[in-house]
Amino acid sequence: MGQLFKVLKSPVWLLLWAGLAVQAANAQNAQYPPADDPWDGTSYRALVERVTDQGLALPTLADEATKPIFERMVNLDNIPLKVGLNRSLAVTLRFQRLNSAMDPLQKLVVLYLNEAQKGKPYATELARLMVYQSKVAAAFLDVSEPYLSGLAKDKRYQVHVTYLDKMKSGARQSYSGLVQCTTETGRYSKSDILQMIGGAMAALPSYHPILTDQDRQDLTQKLTQQISKTTDPQLKTALTELRDTIKHRRIPT
């Protein structure tokens, strides 16, 4: 046994094990959409399918092998957001690119949330993903009305209206979820919460038109309760600003 231990600790074996570990990591990463190229809607859908159907692990910041995958997932240079925010491009193209990412992003949020509720340490990933989702959804909301106005003479106009109403409803729920998460100090760190507050504030102008009075009332009440319990001055100030901006329909500066 002692001789075997010496062999396994030899430089040759250590190099071999290191090589095998690298090969295993490379093989695993090959199953993910590439981290060095901008993602499109197909990339997000592929990740969702491989996680749900093939058991591929969700990318995490704690895993050096999948950290680049997660960073790419929420990269502002990805195609849906980059194209969607480019006002020099046709409205239809911008809408299509943003629309392609809406559903898979929501499914990814649910996947991370489910794992977090099981006790997995995915709070930071979830916070960053929800903020990214809010950016994509905000751009989608901004372009949806111009897109719809261009379909006024389309025979399927009402179908488009129904679809957009459904997407807006989903966006409202996602935004409400993001704001509510800013009050969950037991799950999220201070930096996570501040990031979510910043994301909610930045996206709010796009959400103002679709938030209902009941949405505002519920979110205002939730935030007010948390403000009364918060002792951290920075968090209290940030939460108060978010509450007042939602309540009074202000445009963040």
DSSP assignment of the chain equals -HHHHHHHTSHHHHHHHHHHHHHHHHHHHTTSPPSSS---HHHHHHHHHHHHHH-PPPP-SS-TTTHHHHHHHT-TTSHHHHHHT-TTS-HHHHHHHHHHHHHHHHHHHHHHHHHHHTT-S-HHHHHHHHHHHHHHHHHHHHHHHHHHHTTTT-TTHHHHHHHHHHHHHHHHHHHHHHHHHTT-TTTS-HHHHHHHHHHHHHHHHHHTTT--HHHHHHHHHHHHHHHHH---HHHHHHHHHHHHHHHTTPPP-
The predicted structure's pLDDT at residue 152? 87
Q: What is the pLDDT of residues 93-110, one digit of tens each?
A: 999 999 999 999 999 999
pLDDT surpasses 90 at 29: no
| pTM, two decimal places | 0.87
- What distances in angstroms separate CA 64 from CA 47, 52, 101, 199, 227, one per listed residue? 18, 22, 25, 26, 36
More confident residue, 203 or 22: 203
Is the pLDDT score of 147 beyond 80? yes
Give the pLDDT score at 251. 76
Place of tokens 């990933």: 125
* Mean pLDDT (the chain, rounded): 90
pLDDT digits (tens, 9 = 90+) for 50-75: 999 999 999 999 999 999 999 999 99
